[in-house]
Amino acid sequence: MNPYRLPRDVVPRRYELRLEPDLEAFTFAGAVAVDVEVQEQVGEIVLNAAELEISGGHLDGVALAGVEYDDEHERAVLRLGAPASPGPARLHLSFSGLLNDQLRGFYRSTFTDGDGQERVIATTQFESTNARRAFPCWDEPDLKATFEVTLVVPDGLMAVSSGAEIDSRPTGDGRREVSFAPTMEMSTYLLAFVVGPLEATEPVEVNGTPLRIVHPIGKGHLTEYALDVGSFCLSFFEDYFAIDYPGDKLDLVAIPDFAFGAMENMGCVTFREILLLVDPDSSTQQERQTAADVIAHELAHMWFGNLVTMKWWNGIWLKEAFATFCEMLAVDAYRPDWKRWLAFGLSRAAAFDVDALAATRAVEYPVVSPADAEGMYDLLTYEKGAAAVRMLEQYLGAEAFRDGVRSYLRRHSYANTETHDLWDALARSAGEPVRDVMESWISQSGHPVVTAAEGDSGAITLSQERFRYDQQSDDARWHVPVVAAVGGDAEARTERLVLQAPVALDARRPDWVMVNPTADGFYRVAYEGGLLNRLLEGGPDLDPLQRYVLVDDQWALTVGGRLSVGHYLAFAERIAACEDDLAVWRRLAGTLGAVDHMAADGGRAGLRARVSAMAGPALSRVGWMPVNGEDDRIGELRGVLVRTLAIGGNDGGAIARCRELMATDDADAALAAAAVAVVAATGDEADYEEIRQRYERAPTPQLELRYLMALTAFDHSDLMDLTLACAIDGTVRSQDAGSVLRGCLENRDHGPRAWAFITEHWDDINQRLPTTSIPRMLGGISALSTPELAAASEEFLEAHPVPQGHLIIAQHLERQKINVGLRKRVQETLG
């Protein structure tokens, strides 16, 4: 019996919730009336409550005899004044709580208005288990109910919630009582309410649904982009799912302080400002794409997660993985020129990176406590899960897959499901054994490497084994949907198979073979003997996605010790010689940056010369200055190449040019962003002060974060100290402080200094930062790749556990050890 699960002897059907937030005292008072169904005679009712004081209540007019709190399990036990018999009943409770500063439950967010005055917003973040911090409730996903919310707010402030506003009347004391329409039947974690000095755009009608952007006062000029993306995606998903949007309105709400990127609250989706308030002129293509991704992701949840919901938190992966998959679909349709599926390779690479560790986990695994649920929000849930969904879609065919999804949503609307319910729907639609295929990908940790080897007869044999960076293996096997392109005397052909045991592709010796040419499979590929050279020299012209996959796989094999660092650098030079695609160069730049980070000072000169010889000609082909009408991705590529040449190649001319660009006001957004990064990485105290001032007066959220993160890159110990201090002294928002500290940990020369600061201020950091950001912040320790720092990190984190991310921390520590070995090999190669 899970002690965190509620009994089912009393279940909710309908909540009437009234809240009175005090934005000056940072408190709230509330009352809730819940229509419940008593399943069997009870003398007590157990529900969830945390950080609340229940002051009184009654069940059908019979006063409670008392309230007992179970703080460990975040529950309240209501002692009834008389036993309750089976049947419908109505529970009334009065309660109060604090508007906390922890970015969870019912909390406060602040911003400075145009007059320089600090203003306060009261807002919510309930997923996974924080509705219980706003009102007593049955806070589990399968205990769905409807919600009718009333907010009593000061005159002059705006209030929004999940339902449409249906009434607003004065209370006679300088406040208004704002009532909202009942929601659909849904889980507690999907309810939201926001009160504060807010404004809203005029609604845009999308197939009958009014869509608005709600934002802090004075920021309406940054809403047009999100309205356009939101309108497109809402219409796109109604068509894709063949089900109307299930709410009565849709508000996208920008919140200044927000622990996550966004939250799919029904009808009232909340976002970090950077992901909703966008100036297309000063933002880069990547910044706009990220905003579009997140908007699409949250709107996909309106169906997949909200309309149909997992029964328990072990199913978080399915709603998040599917929404990630859907964001790619929608954004690819919104801007085909962005080649969104190609860019997904970078996210997928990050999931591969975690999944190659011994400390990885299955995508779906048991969840007992709220801390377990918090630990589910990681790369494996989102990116590996989405990659598995994409692999399945391509295996079944896009149309059969979509039809199965539609059937699943229709059958389970307003209800809760297990993962196998989706597999069964897809199996019925496609006539394929989906459960068998997907079980090994979802319930088993890790992923395979598929090795292509040529036998004595010339036949190509494919085999699989688990891929791990530590080169350990086991008997794990997958149902691997393999696609292989094979070239011979005749035209190239495509072979498709589900790989389990080793299999020969062809008895004849092909000219070349490429495994996973569409990059849909979530597996690594290793080419033995001369097969890689035959592919590169005698194979077809590889498209950008195929080149990307080769780079990504070759680097993974290098990290795992299957290939030498020298081999990888020679391979990178070969690819870079004529490479002109953004995604490929991003991966190349990332891997070359990793090598530079680990290189000894004496070996950097030779490496920099090689990087300069790769990036310089590529930048010459693209040109320093934008051309009218050029593709957005070309501008982004230019920025990547400028950074790589100036920082990785230490090119004096490029550094000087970046200084000139930073001094101008009319530089292209991608070039301007690159210039800031270069000046920070090569700059001095005066440059630091300039960027710090730009951060403080940044006119958009994107520029604010750009300048803030640049402060982590300076190569000066005193400046590092200033940046570290601002992360915990209130200068930086708590939502961003974890990213700043991680960026400092990743600083090549001053990461150890940052680690010393974090260990010294550990208690302050844990008190100030949202709990969810601590595991992400600690991802930076993997950059501390010396044996001494690895030992010190492990010792410290063993003595200071992070319960909400214990497995994620184990992954960081393991990757740190992998990097210790890689660093040794890098320095042996470069000298």
Reduced to 3 states (helix: H, G, I; strand: E, B; else coil), residue 148 is strand
Cis omega (within 30 of 0) on the bond before 187? no
| Catalytic residue of the set 127, 298, 320, 374 | 298
Residue 659, judged by CB atoms within 10 A of its CB (0-12, 13-18, 19+), counts as middle
Partners of 193 in beta bridges: 161
Residue 604, φ and ψ in degrees, nearest 5: -70, -35
Q: What is the 3-state secondary structure (H, E, C) of 668-728?
A: CHHHHHHHHHHHHHHCCHHHHHHHHHHHHCCCCHHHHHHHHHHHHHCCCHHHHHHHHHHHH
Helix (H) and strand (E) counts in the chain: 27, 30
Which helix H or strand E contains 622, and what residues bound it? helix 601-622
Nearest to 644 by CA among 595, 682, 611, 598: 611
- DSSP output for 486-526: EE-SS--EEEEEEESS-EEEESS--SEEEESTTS-SSSEEE
- DSSP output for 558-594: HHTTSS-HHHHHHHHHHHHTT---HHHHHHHHHHHHH
Are 772 and 260 in contact, with CB atoms under 8 Å apart?
A: yes
Q: Which two tokens stand for residue 104?
A: 């969870």
Q: Which two tokens stand for residue 682?
A: 């090569």
Tell me which residue has tokens 């110990």: 717
How far apart (Å, rounded) are the C-alpha atoms in residues 141 and 319? 12
Are 698 and 278 in contact, with CB atoms under 8 Å apart?
A: no
Q: Which two tokens stand for residue 287?
A: 């910044």
Q: Is 746 a catalytic residue?
A: no
Per-residue burial over 119-147, b = 16 or more CB atoms within 10 Å of its CB, e = otherwise:
bbbbbbbbbbbbbbbbbbbbbbbebbbbb
How far apart (Å, rounded) are the C-alpha atoms in residues 151 and 249? 18
Measured CA to CA in angstroms, residue 210 lies from 153, 202, 250, 790 at distances of 24, 9, 6, 53
Residues in the chain: 831
Nearest 5°: the CA angle 804, 806, 808 is: 100
How far apart (Å, rounded) are the C-alpha atoms in residues 284 and 633? 10
Measured CA to CA in angstroms, residue 99 lies from 53, 292, 791 at distances of 13, 31, 40
Active site residues: 298
